[in-house]
Amino acid sequence: MAIPLKNIIHEKIKEVNSLTDVELYKSLTKDGMIITEDKFNKLLLDLEILGLIKVAWITKEARRIEIVTIKEEIDIVDEQNQEMMEKDYEASFPGFEK
């Protein structure tokens, strides 16, 4: 079963964190994946819509492609609730003192 081009492109971008579209296209060509410019642009657009990459123009003919890192926010209320549940659970055992 062949790996979809989207996954291959995403992995290549993830390896270096950011690169230009020309560098990415050359890397794909070097690995033997010849794709049309239209298909390449469509794949980049799909990955950007999915929120996996960010594409920005740096010159008239070059684009910077960056991987999107998702920072997980910690909810303080959820964290406090979790601590209380753990304390209540531990306190439910007879003879347990902390």
For the chain, which residues make up each domain, given as ranges?
A: 5-67
- Tell which wins on pLDDT, 40 or 88: 40
CA dist., res. 36 & res. 30, Å (int)? 14
CATH of 5-67, one of 1.10.10.10, 3.20.20.240, 3.30.70.1280, 3.40.640.10: 1.10.10.10
DSSP strand E in the chain: where?
18-20, 53-57, 63-67
Q: Mind listing the pLDDT tens digit for each residue in 50-63?
A: 999 999 999 999 99
Do residues 53 and 69 lie in contact, with contact meaning Cβ atoms separated by under 8 Å? no
Average pLDDT value over all residues in the chain: 87
49, two tokens: 């819509």
Q: Mind listing the pLDDT tens digit for each residue in 9-43?
A: 999 999 998 999 999 999 999 999 999 999 999 99
What's the pLDDT at 4? 86
42, two tokens: 């469509």
Contacts of 89 by beta carbon, 8 Å cutoff, 6+ apart: none
